Amino acid sequence: MRITKEKKQENYGRIIATASELFRERGFDGVGVAELMERAGLTHGGFYNHFRSKEELIAESTENGLSETLKRYAGHDVLAVMELYLAREHRDGRGQGCTAAALGCDAARQPEETKAIFAEGIDKLVRALEDGIAQHHASGAGGRAQAIAILAQAVGAIVLSRACPDDSPLADELLEACRADCRDAIQNRVRER
């Protein structure tokens, strides 16, 4: 039975969304194609109507996840972004959280295509932070190095916090310390110039 182009596109979107969430929860190697397709409500064989391989799906779902992160914080002030990003809710919401924090280490072991998608997504996050920092600066200039440092610190805080037991005081302490430090770095940039 043939399906319409619209239905095929809908199925593709469902696979990408499901994969993006599952990969963020369990990593690229923690999810098999059969389980993914079952969770998406589709047959295992249908996977190959959309993707040549799991690696192709990984690349496309990574791009989707990184774009979701940008969209989630678009329109928020950079200080509000730090509050939302470095919060326990984000830390605990692995499947809906930041792709860079959830899959950055996994990406290092992926083919160059996936690494290139990560690099492009990270660069977009840096530029968004740079623009947000610039809005707090009288001249409107943002600092790329500062945006990189803040992104690295925020992503690292989520990764380290997730590595701790859920009820560990250190898990929250990591988020609190980095949230305060990122906020201070943004605000001090305004005062320094």
Q: Could you read off the pLDDT of 21-62 as tens digits, one per residue? A: 999 999 999 999 999 999 999 988 889 989 999 999 999 999
Query: Is the pLDDT reported for residue 121 higher than 80?
Result: yes
H helical segments located in 33-168: 33-40, 54-73, 78-85, 88-92, 99-107, 112-134, 144-163
The pLDDT score that the predictor gives to residue 7 is: 87
Distance in angstroms (rounded) separating the CA atoms of residues 123 and 105: 17
Q: Which residue in the block uniquely carries the two structure tokens 């369990």?
A: 26
Among the listed residues 27, 25, 29, 97, the one whose alpha carbon sits nearest the alpha carbon of residue 66:
97
The residue type of 25 is E
